[in-house]
Structure 1
Amino acid sequence: MVDRPSNWKEELARWLEPFLDCLGHKARRRMCPLYVAGLIGPGDRKSVQPMAARLAPGDYDQLHHFIADGVWDAAPLEAELLVQADRLVGGKDAVLVIDDTSMPKKGDRSVGVAPQYASTLGKTANCQPLVSLTLARGEVPVMVAPRLFIPENWTSDPVRLKRAGVPIEHRTARSKSEIALAEIDRVIAGVRFGCVLADAGYGSSAPFRHALSERGLLWAVGMSRRQKVYPTDVTMIFPTEKARKPRKHHIPDMSPVSAETMLVGVKWQKISWRGGTKGPLTCLFAARRVRIADGPKHRVFDKGVERMPGDEVWILGERRSSGEQKYYISNLPADVPLKTLAAAVKARWICEQAHQQLKEELGLDHFEGRSWAGLHRHALMTMIAYAFLQSRRLTAAGRKKRVSGPPPQPSMPAIRQAILNLFVRPPPLRCTHCEMLLAGRLKPNLPK
């Protein structure tokens, strides 16, 4: 027999219990499940007013106060989210993906909104960019941290910052890489993962890569094809040429070249890193061990100022069927096979899926308030709702964790739709297959 709607509400309430224990006040303990249910529930708009109208018309003021104006600390709920995310997908073969996603926004009063590059749109637009951290294992992501990037025209205006309720510790100008590192420091003790992944927007920053290494983390990040590198056999010499002043530093005995040039002559291999809906996903890859030119700057004879050789790392090139080429850099061990390198850098795509689902399924970008606290609380509630749906997805898949292969079936949006069918009312046509999956009476058809 398929679960009745009341049982589903009870299941959500049970899943939220550790979060509610962090809220204390009984009004907050009642509003939190209501807000999460509103995000998961029916309706295209997931801002406070339409959610309250659908679920609890008499509770609009309390729901708005809970998310926008209430005095409560989100940190305990963020910590509990890390616990649940680690339980769902944490492990040594999990990855932590650093990325950002933008939310188009009209006006200029909402916190952090300004004309700036919107990654979602691929152009400059009025938007709010969020730096995100997503924990993923196999094909299952759980977003664990969003933090608003504050542009310079905000950080230079104390009155504007105060009006939007930006905490004092976030009022100084910080790059997206600096925000990402601060969030890594916050989550690193709460979740288990084996490698940090990021695109070239973060990976091209030498201080960002150095900071990851200083924290003892393995990483695989995007980079520019023009990134200068040295061969691993570069030797540091002390020049003996006559000069006005004696030299104080050793310099390399050869000049660096671009990563693109360094891979010339290296054999490219066709690698399949995972299965897709239409068969194995493949590209051509080539890799080589190098020393990245990200050390101190010194003058090298008459060649100007050059970066000195840094640590030995991998550079990886990717040739796509479209003709596009991408380049990556990683401090993974020297003995890892090419397929492992390829699988690591290609695992980053999962965060883009998470961003899309958080927006399309749960209304991450639907918040209509203007304050820092309201925006981040709304984002936190969407992440909690997303983690709940992923827990149902994994349960429906018949196993707690998945390492490789196509995504467990049914997909997360299908799980949400099946939940909607139970939460609200039976639709004219019911999906018996999904309902049986959710009821635990039918195992999904997973690849062996």
Structure 2
Amino acid sequence: MTDLATFTVPMPSVRAADVPIPSVRSAGAPPGAAADFPAYCGDLFGELARADQRRWGEVYVRGLLDVPGRKTPARISEQVLGRRAVQQIQQFVNQSPWACGPVRGRLARQMARAFRVEAWSVDEVVFTKNGDRSVGVARQYAASQERTVNCQLALAASLVGHAGSVPVNWRLVLPARWDADERLRGQAHLPEEERCRPRWAYVMEALDEMLDEWTLEPLPVLADWRGESDPDPLLRGLEARGLGYVVRVAPHTPVVLPRRPAAVPGCRGTLAELAAHAARHTERTSVTWHDPVAERMRHSEFVTAPVLLRCEPAPGRGAGAAPRPRLLLADWPYGRPRPRGYWLTNLPARRLAEIVPLAQLGRFSEEALGRMHEEFGLGDFEGRSFRGWHHHVTLASAALGFDMVRQQADERALSETGA
């Protein structure tokens, strides 16, 4: 993992440390938030080396929470501080050498205390851009939007449960064009070790940080991998780490078909063909579950079948114990010509009534990331640097996290009042 604290760039003529440490105005704060917010930020930024860094972190997160419309440094400083401090805020976000990892780890632990976390969700996040100089920008295919966009692409790892979701870890996906263009890399202050990699490698790096450095409790991983031609490296990486998973995949995903003809040894097919074979030879399983997003009961029929993709060593870890069998889960109601969705999981088939609602929790992470764009300025960062991008998305996650903490506190207060 890149240590952002060791990457240095030239400092502007006026530094945050050259001005008095600001006091955050609470006039625009939501009701009941003023007493909690400083303690929340004090915990998140407690490991930052300098007092001015800790206070500018509080200023920026408050701006992301309270400033209406676009969250620019000018608007944040004017509405939070009552004066312009644009250069100081830009310096804190773009250039100040504070490491994101400890802040993200503290955020994850706060969220684990704030609500019951049931899974980790990995989602693609699209940052649409007009130019071509911001770090990682390229005209590239965004699977989540099913189109080619001039954008930055990121992967967010979120803690998710029935109470909601908060992204706690981020990776910026670098296009291949950024590997060899030294001018672009220099302008964005891109660390030498940051290179284009397969998406599963970014996911493994983020999960290893959560497991090994933050020591979070391992939970099932949810992911939408329909945009990837081969889910096998991702699945093997998760299996090597002993993680359960429910991964949505495309119907054309290649698999080994059962009962292959003797004349065609090693016959390969697709998940769609495997689901059709299973539907002809096994009974569908009826599952009724509570939809956590729509808040209603749903009913469907599912076809299940063992899955064989490949037999290779798992990437990034030792051989360890034999992985649990993989299972195809196809949502295929009677009367429909084909399934509505395909998932691969290593969770036991007998727990189908738990796996189905677990898979739906990924919709909470999508909803939370959408809110971050609309309410907390996730896409408002105007800088171009690798460090600045990581700082901004970390602080945007902190803003959503405080909203979650506040929501949970309000619900507890209402419950106690009602009692």
TM bin (shorter chain): 0.7 to 0.9
Tell me the distance in 2 between the aligned counterparts of 1:84 and 1:229.
41
User: Residue 397 of structure 1 corresponds to which residue in structure 2?
Assistant: 411
Given the alignment, which residue of 12, 29, 32 partners 2:54?
29
Given the alignment, which residue of 242, 252, 258 partners 1:226?
252
Deviations 1:216-249 (A, max 9, x none): 1111111222334457899xxxx9x9xxxxxxxx
Deviations 1:345-393 (A, max 9, x none): 2222111011111111101001011111111101000111111111111
User: Residue 185 of structure 1 corresponds to which residue in structure 2?
Assistant: 208
The answer (yes or no) to whether the contact 1:198–1:348 under 8 Å persists in 2 is: yes
Tell me the distance in 1 between the aligned counterparts of 2:297 and 2:170.
30
The answer (yes or no) to whether the contact 1:144–1:383 under 8 Å persists in 2 is: yes
Tell me the distance in 2 between the aligned counterparts of 1:89 and 1:193.
16
1:219 partner letter: Y
| Matched residue SS, 1:168 | coil
TM-score normalized with structure 1 length: 0.75
Tell me the distance in 2 between the aligned counterparts of 1:387 and 1:162.
33
In the alignment, is residue 370 of structure 1 matched against residue 384 of structure 2? yes
The answer (yes or no) to whether the contact 1:78–1:380 under 8 Å persists in 2 is: yes
1:185 partner letter: D
For residues 92-131 of structure 1, what are the structure 2 equivalents within 5 Å?
94-119=118-143, 121-131=145-155
Tell me the distance in 2 between the aligned counterparts of 1:277 and 1:133.
19
TM-score normalized with structure 2 length: 0.80
Tell me the distance in 2 between the aligned counterparts of 1:395 and 1:378.
26
In 2 relative to 1, CA 34–139 (structure 1 residues): closer, same or farther, beyond 3 Å?
same
Given the alignment, which residue of 379, 396, 399 partners 1:382?
396
Tell me the distance in 1 between the aligned counterparts of 2:329 and 2:303.
4
The answer (yes or no) to whether the contact 2:178–2:185 under 8 Å persists in 1 is: yes
| Matched residue SS, 1:186 | helix
Quote how far apart the aligned CAs of 1:283 are.
4.6
In the alignment, is residue 215 of structure 1 matched against residue 241 of structure 2? yes
In 2 relative to 1, CA 259–52 (structure 1 residues): closer, same or farther, beyond 3 Å?
farther
In the alignment, is residue 264 of structure 1 matched against residue 276 of structure 2? no
In 2 relative to 1, CA 9–284 (structure 1 residues): closer, same or farther, beyond 3 Å?
same
User: Residue 205 of structure 1 corresponds to which residue in structure 2?
Assistant: 231
1:35 partner letter: Y
User: Residue 21 of structure 2 corresponds to which residue in structure 1?
Assistant: none
Quote how far apart the aligned CAs of 1:213 are.
0.4
For residues 84-163 of structure 1, what are the structure 2 equivalents within 5 Å?
84-89=110-115, 94-119=118-143, 121-163=145-187
Tell me the distance in 1 between the aligned counterparts of 2:293 and 2:367.
15
Given the alignment, which residue of 170, 173, 176 partners 2:196?
173
In 2 relative to 1, CA 96–65 (structure 1 residues): closer, same or farther, beyond 3 Å?
same
The answer (yes or no) to whether the contact 2:301–2:332 under 8 Å persists in 1 is: yes
In the alignment, is residue 326 of structure 1 matched against residue 341 of structure 2? yes
1:65 partner letter: Q
For residues 5-84 of structure 1, what are the structure 2 equivalents within 5 Å?
8-56=33-81, 57-84=83-110
Quote how far apart the aligned CAs of 1:159 are.
2.6
In the alignment, is residue 354 of structure 1 matched against residue 368 of structure 2? yes
| Matched residue SS, 2:276 | helix
The answer (yes or no) to whether the contact 2:245–2:347 under 8 Å persists in 1 is: yes
Gaps of 5+ in 1: 242-250, 297-309, 399-435
In 2 relative to 1, CA 97–7 (structure 1 residues): closer, same or farther, beyond 3 Å?
closer
2:64 partner letter: L
Tell me the distance in 1 between the aligned counterparts of 2:43 and 2:293.
36
| Matched residue SS, 2:279 | coil
Tell me the distance in 2 between the aligned counterparts of 1:343 and 1:277.
10
Tell me the distance in 2 between the aligned counterparts of 1:129 and 1:273.
33
Deviations 1:67-125 (A, max 9, x none): 1121222222122122212223465xx10111111011111111111111235643211
Tell me the distance in 2 between the aligned counterparts of 1:278 and 1:197.
19
The answer (yes or no) to whether the contact 2:301–2:331 under 8 Å persists in 1 is: yes
User: Residue 4 of structure 2 corresponds to which residue in structure 1?
Assistant: none
Quote how far apart the aligned CAs of 1:207 are.
1.1
Tell me the distance in 1 between the aligned counterparts of 2:65 and 2:147.
30
Tell me the distance in 2 between the aligned counterparts of 1:276 and 1:347.
7
How large is the RMSD of aligned CA atoms in angstroms?
A: 3.1
The answer (yes or no) to whether the contact 2:279–2:303 under 8 Å persists in 1 is: no
1:134 partner letter: S
Tell me the distance in 2 between the aligned counterparts of 1:183 and 1:373.
16
| Matched residue SS, 1:226 | coil
In 2 relative to 1, CA 277–98 (structure 1 residues): closer, same or farther, beyond 3 Å?
closer
Given the alignment, which residue of 282, 285, 288 partners 2:298?
282
Quote how far apart the aligned CAs of 1:201 are.
3.3
In 2 relative to 1, CA 289–121 (structure 1 residues): closer, same or farther, beyond 3 Å?
closer
More displaced 10-residue stretch of structure 1: 129-138 or 311-320:
311-320
Tell me the distance in 1 between the aligned counterparts of 2:368 and 2:279.
36
The answer (yes or no) to whether the contact 2:160–2:362 under 8 Å persists in 1 is: no
Quote how far apart the aligned CAs of 1:27 are.
1.4
Gaps of 5+ in 2: 1-25, 313-322
1:374 partner letter: G
In 2 relative to 1, CA 8–201 (structure 1 residues): closer, same or farther, beyond 3 Å?
same
Tell me the distance in 2 between the aligned counterparts of 1:65 and 1:278.
43
Tell me the distance in 1 between the aligned counterparts of 2:144 and 2:350.
37
The answer (yes or no) to whether the contact 2:218–2:243 under 8 Å persists in 1 is: no
In 2 relative to 1, CA 64–114 (structure 1 residues): closer, same or farther, beyond 3 Å?
same
In 2 relative to 1, CA 388–314 (structure 1 residues): closer, same or farther, beyond 3 Å?
same
Quote how far apart the aligned CAs of 1:136 are.
0.9
| Matched residue SS, 1:103 | strand
| Matched residue SS, 2:97 | coil
In 2 relative to 1, CA 255–382 (structure 1 residues): closer, same or farther, beyond 3 Å?
closer
